[in-house]
């Protein structure tokens, strides 16, 4: 029977120096999964009758491509989370791609949001419903600002030199193995 003494270096449990990969991977899987479900639900809503008032025809042209891009970007985030959790270098690349696309989509949506905030409540709406409408617009503005948080964090995090160096040590798939990077 072999005894390991507490003074030996191998006896001490090794801390995972890349615990951030698990945390970011899991958060990205959660956000990506929710974003994908929400994006697909939003796409289904676009095809519902009376989804848009007839006065907003120019917006209808932009909403469908943006919804498709947002759902696709959520799928990128989901994939990035899985790959980061598995310690694959492509997880970093996909996180950076997601962050850039997300920031662009959010910034492109701000003029639409400002237009909605400055528009009067729809005609015929009761006063209490009009207040709820305004509160909903305020929540959308808050969501836009908060929505920049995670992509901004990912952009800063994955561009750090120490993180780049850690990711370089992760295993790369062998060229002759299909689906090895998954």
Q: What is the pLDDT of residues 29-55, one digit of tens each?
A: 999 999 999 888 877 777 765 655 554
Within a domain: 177: no
pLDDT tens, residue by residue, 84-143: 999 999 999 999 999 999 999 888 878 777 777 776 766 666 666 666 666 776 777 777
d(CA 134, CA 128): 10
Query: Between residues 176 and 91, which one has the greater pLDDT?
Result: 91
Query: Between residues 125 and 10, which one has the greater pLDDT?
Result: 125
Within a domain: 151: yes
Within a domain: 178: no
pLDDT for position 77: 97
CB atoms closer than 10 angstroms to residue 110: 12
Within a domain: 174: no
Query: How many domains does the chain fold into?
Result: 1
Within a domain: 133: yes
Within a domain: 6: no
What range does the domain containing 114 cover? 18-49+58-168
Mean pLDDT of 133-159: 83
Within a domain: 43: yes
Task: Please tell me the pTM assigned to this model.
Answer: 0.73
């Amino acid at each position: 029977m072999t005894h390991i003494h507490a003074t030996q270096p191998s006896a001490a449990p090794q801390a995972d120096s890349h615990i951030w990969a698990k945390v970011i991977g899991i958060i990205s899987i959660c956000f990506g999964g929710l974003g994908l479900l929400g994006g697909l639900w939003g796409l289904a809503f676009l095809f519902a009758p009376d989804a848009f008032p007839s006065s907003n025809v120019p917006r209808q042209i932009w909403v469908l491509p943006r919804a498709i891009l947002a759902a696709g970007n959520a799928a990128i985030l989901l994939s990035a989370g899985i790959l980061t959790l598995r310690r694959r270098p492509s997880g970093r690349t996909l996180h950076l791609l997601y962050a850039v696309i997300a920031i662009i989509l959010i910034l492109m949506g701000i003029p639409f949001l400002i237009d909605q905030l400055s528009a009067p409540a729809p005609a015929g709406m009761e006063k209490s419903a009009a207040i709820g409408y305004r509160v909903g617009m305020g929540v959308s503005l808050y969501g836009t600002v908060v929505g920049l948080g995670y992509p901004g964090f990912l952009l800063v995090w994955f561009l750090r030199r120490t993180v780049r160096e850690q990711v370089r040590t992760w295993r790369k798939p062998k060229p002759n193995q299909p689906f090895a990077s998954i």
